[in-house]
Structure 1
Amino acid sequence: MNATAPGAVIGSVMGEPSATGRFGQFGGRYVPESLVPACAALEAAFRDAWADPAFHERLARLRSEFAGRPTALTPALNLSAQLGVTLLLKREDLAHTGSHKINNVLGQALLAQRMGKTHLIAETGAGQHGVATATAAALFGMRATVYMGERDIARQQLNVFRMELLGAEVIPVTSGSRTLKDATNEAMRAWVAAVDEAHFCLGSVGGPHPYPWLVRELQRVIGEEARAQVPATPDVVVACVGGGSNAAGTFAGFVDTPARLIGVEAAGGAAMTDGRPGVVHGYRSLVLQDDDGQVLEAESIAAGLDYPGVGPEHAHLGTTGRAEYRTVTDGEVLDAVRRLARSEGIICALESAHAVAWVLRAAGTPDLPTGSTVLLTLSGRGDKDMATLAGEVR
């Protein structure tokens, strides 16, 4: 049975993975034996739910009545005039909880409820996925436990408070770099210990099969909405990439069109640019690693992009040439936040600003010629980053 969502393009590049959960050479399921049945059960439950019109009806109602979808497509008129391109912003920052993360979490929470689970376990970097998980847990009457690196807790205090206000337990992770990579490690360990009653609500298009596929399908709504909203197929579709869920969801709506797909990474955490094939967090992809295969620490001003790997489907899209990947520096990101705010009255998340920064740099060059139409997904709003921005942007 094909579990592609109703209305999606059957047989498109971003279709169903192989029977072993692979996109080309990437993906798969590299987990302890104790988690193999849990992953298999999740795949079976997802296939069953995704083929059930009642599940889609309930999810669509939640997206509309609770999450505020569809999100707007906003022409960035002032920046467009300045840059010589037509820039259209897909406004995931306007979704409930402030980012695209709610799309994925509502679907996973519904699925967990369908499976009889009562506890959501999540990892978070910037905190937006943690907030979305805590929100869904409160809505569905579930327990929520969120693992977050100690370093990220320090720079994302607002989101920590939001999670706790919603009733979630936020557990600081003090190992390693104390960021998203280490939070994911701890969340997966917790899942092993509580697999009978808990669902691991993974936030991005990584992890063992079926997560990369499942999360992409739940985020596909971004690209499908945007495709229906644009007056014509854009020349370029661009989104930031850490693990890559907002980009995967956006690209899924345009992968079968002539549009160029551009993912933008942090220069200090560019797995697509600097990574090599390897295994991290249960899947094979491009990973930042040394000559001995040890995973390297990623560095980014954006906590949500501070991750040494990338979703396996992005690795496949990049190596096959269907998508292109660029990097921007922290300085360019800060300038992008400032310029978008002062030109359009929109304060975006530092993660989203990576995509904006590339457009600012590339506009008018051969990489983004004058007259191009660009669809850019603003994955989240910048409230969470005020502490960081206060010391950097004036």
Structure 2
Amino acid sequence: MVKPLIQVDEKGFYGKFGGAYIPEMLHPNIEELRENYESITASQSFQKEFKSLLKDFVGRPTPLYFASRLSEQYQAKIYLKREDLCHTGAHKVNNTVGQIILAKKLGKKRIIAETGAGQHGVATATVCALMGMDCTVYMGELDMARQKPNVERMRILGAKVVPATSGSKTLKDATNEAMRQWINNPVDTHYIIGSVVGPHPYPEMVARFQSVISEEIKWQLKSKEGTENPDIVMACVGGGSNAAGAFYHYYNLDQVRLIAVEAAGLGIHSGKSAATTALGTPGILHGSKTLLMQTEDGQVTEPHSISAGLDYPGIGPVHAHLFDTGRAEFLAVEDEDAMKAGIALSRTEGIIPAIETAHAIHALNMIEYKTDDIIVINLSGRGDKDLDTYIKWGGY
């Protein structure tokens, strides 16, 4: 696997951001991971099992689809990386497959996870069923209501779904509950974090498992366009795992524009937003130093997005670094515009996207590009989970 120049240092930092800010009781868990994950994941046995499951269970490689009608509409060459066609319906399973093999090799018997939109929860429940491991998923009570189909999928797969009833009852609070549970069960339990967040080594580990996305984009684009490098790669960002995967093999290539799209909610300055780079300041969130939305005295501000997967008050430290250095451009899209873009893609290309991805689709209206530019948008998940939200919105 090619390591990008934007690398984490030995203490888990990307520039100013990262690290492991954890309670003493979690130190053994994190140290066990930090000391073992690189050697385990680099081993021949791990790689053989990981690649086999990605191919035969997940269904990789996912297509790089030339969206002809969308391209005609926007006057550019637009490709969609079809992560929605992964087993379980999103990119999340790339990471859970990697982490379940790692957990098994570490001798763990029980898995816990957090989830927002439910896709990571479903992907975790899926691999636990595959490996015969006990699974508990923490999910915000609000998210459980708006993502009910995914809750039932997790339960059918054998997972216990525990509601987080504190705070905004969304992803932040589910993560808090999962962290507390892990502190109480350090020996036999592995916490499968679903995004490039949390204490080191999680952000780097998740990014590596997701880097298969950009690894495939390179050879797929070479066969279609004669070049491995698009002009622009775009992806939505909550915590940011799908974007980290899509950007990974392009970090070093300044000629490739990286565009990350956050959720502006009801407006960046409305008080109902999740646009971290526009509103955030450096601080500690879920075990790492990153950019997060917080009050002057350091209390986390409640985020808002119509998409449960972007409803998070921070971003992963790698994205905070990309923003801080100017390597990536960050945009923010409001709820209404994202919903319209989701319907537009459905009717232009016959693909109903997850509302998270719909934010990135709308961002085509916010950037400048040339008519011969190649634009790759990472289509992080399918919209099945969001049908109730689409229906309640009703703008179609």
Q: TM-score, normalised by structure 1?
A: 0.95
Runs of at least 5 residues in structure 1 that lack an aligned partner in the other structure: 1-5
Does the 8 Å contact 1:227/1:254 carry over to 2? no
1:259 aligns with 2:256: yes
Q: Which amino acid aligns with 1:234?
A: P
1:34 aligns with 2:28: no
Mapped partners of 1:128, 1:160: distance in 2: 9
Mapped partners of 1:134, 1:248: distance in 2: 23
Mapped partners of 1:202, 1:368: distance in 2: 35
Does the 8 Å contact 1:240/1:264 carry over to 2? yes
Mapped partners of 1:93, 1:237: distance in 2: 17
Corresponding residue of 1:74: 65
1:206 aligns with 2:197: yes
Secondary structure at the counterpart of residue 28 of structure 2: helix
Corresponding residue of 1:3: none
1:94 aligns with 2:79: no
Q: Which amino acid aligns with 2:376?
A: L
Does the 8 Å contact 1:30/1:208 carry over to 2? yes
Runs of 4+ in 1 over 6 A off after TM superposition: none
Corresponding residue of 2:341: 336
Does the 8 Å contact 2:41/2:102 carry over to 1? no
Give the 5 Å matches for 1:238-253: 238-253=234-249
Corresponding residue of 2:281: 276
Q: Which amino acid aligns with 1:256?
A: N
Mapped partners of 2:313, 2:5: distance in 1: 25
**Which of 211, 215, 222 is the equivalent residue of 2:206?**
215
- Residue range with higher mean Cα deviation, 271-280 or 98-107: 271-280
Q: Following TM superposition, by how much is the alpha carbon of 1:377 offset from its aligned partner in structure 2, in angstroms?
A: 0.2
Does the 8 Å contact 2:263/2:334 carry over to 1? yes
Q: Following TM superposition, by how much is the alpha carbon of 1:253 offset from its aligned partner in structure 2, in angstroms?
A: 1.9
Q: Following TM superposition, by how much is the alpha carbon of 1:370 offset from its aligned partner in structure 2, in angstroms?
A: 3.3
Corresponding residue of 2:169: 178
Runs of at least 5 residues in structure 2 that lack an aligned partner in the other structure: 265-272
Mapped partners of 1:299, 1:55: distance in 2: 39
Corresponding residue of 1:128: 119
Secondary structure at the counterpart of residue 289 of structure 2: strand
Mapped partners of 1:176, 1:382: distance in 2: 27
Secondary structure at the counterpart of residue 296 of structure 2: coil
Corresponding residue of 1:377: 378
Q: Following TM superposition, by how much is the alpha carbon of 1:95 offset from its aligned partner in structure 2, in angstroms?
A: 0.2
Mapped partners of 1:244, 1:14: distance in 2: 16
Mapped partners of 1:347, 1:69: distance in 2: 20
Q: TM-score, normalised by structure 2?
A: 0.95
Mapped partners of 1:369, 1:170: distance in 2: 47
Secondary structure at the counterpart of residue 10 of structure 2: coil
Mapped partners of 1:369, 1:123: distance in 2: 41
Secondary structure at the counterpart of residue 120 of structure 1: strand
Counting matched residue pairs gives 381
Q: Following TM superposition, by how much is the alpha carbon of 1:369 offset from its aligned partner in structure 2, in angstroms?
A: 3.5
Q: Following TM superposition, by how much is the alpha carbon of 1:36 offset from its aligned partner in structure 2, in angstroms?
A: 1.1
Mapped partners of 2:261, 2:369: distance in 1: 14
Give the % identical residues.
Answer: 51
Corresponding residue of 1:296: 301
Q: Aligned-pair RMSD on alpha carbons?
A: 0.9
Mapped partners of 2:234, 2:353: distance in 1: 15
Q: Following TM superposition, by how much is the alpha carbon of 1:272 offset from its aligned partner in structure 2, in angstroms?
A: 1.7
Q: Following TM superposition, by how much is the alpha carbon of 1:368 offset from its aligned partner in structure 2, in angstroms?
A: 2.8
Deviations 1:278-307 (A, max 9, x none): 001000000001111111011000000000
